[in-house]
Amino acid sequence: MSDMKNERVANPQWKKATLWASTVVLVLILGMALLVIFTPKKDETSAVAGPLAPASTVPSSPATQDGCNVPAGDTSATPKMPDDLRWEAENGWTWPVSDTYGPTARKGDFGVCFARSPLGAALMAVTLNTAISTSDFKQAVELYVPDSPGKDYVLAEPASERGEPISYSGFIVDSFTPDNAQVTMVFSTPDTPTGFTGLPLSFRWIDGDWKQVVLDDGSMFRGQPIAPQRGSFVEWKATP
């Protein structure tokens, strides 16, 4: 998210369609080098199904979980790290997982079944971002992204090189309801004044699991990257 290459970044068209940190290129934004996939051309609200509740009004009781029957756990805007949070590693990438909150099952090479909570959405974000950089990209998009014009746009783009691993630092819960989540994925980078870059992502609860929302023009994040300071985001416990 210096010129960190993504799994699909080598192709200039792919810069418009790739996902998150593993699919972005550093550019200068607001006087700082921020990682971007591409600048969205359309209003981010076109990809979100209805208004989302602000993080300050997240429900205090666990949301009902269906599909994979994963416990929702803490649904606050600053969820505590689970005791079983651990780090998996593959091809130079390391990312947080929880056997309790997600992924709690596998579908082929991919982790699935996440908690219907902000923490579950954040775990899904890093799982998907890593999957598109370490596994078959188009298979990952088929699994994690619901059908939409944006998904068709992404799948139509030619494949290109894999990118360099990134270091996941934490996340920000921008808003949450049991059906929609807005979560900013934060990773460390030496190219911003704060040492961190955040990509704002949208998720929707579909068929018992979180799916990544894609804008119609192929952009997989909403708005602009940010440079959050430590203390303004929830950090992953025991970051390697």
93: its two tokens: 């990438």
- Is the distance from CB of 53 to CB of 33 less than 8 angstroms? no
Q: Look at residue 143 in the predicted model and tell me its pLDDT.
A: 96
Judge residue 229's burial from the number of C-beta atoms within 10 Å of its C-beta, 0-12 exposed, 13-18 middle, 19 or more buried.
exposed
Q: Look at residue 58 in the predicted model and tell me its pLDDT.
A: 39
Q: Look at residue 133 in the predicted model and tell me its pLDDT.
A: 87
124: its two tokens: 């899904």
189 by DSSP, 3-state: which? coil
Under 8 Å CB-to-CB from 69, ≥6 apart: which residues?
A: none
- Is the distance from CB of 131 to CB of 118 less than 8 angstroms? no
For the CA atoms of 124, 172, 24, 38, what is the dihedral angle to 10 degrees?
110
- Is the distance from CB of 47 to CB of 150 less than 8 angstroms? yes
pLDDT tens readout for residues 186-221? 999 998 999 999 999 999 999 999 999 999 988 888
pLDDT tens readout for residues 101-143? 999 999 998 999 999 999 999 999 999 999 988 899 899 999 9
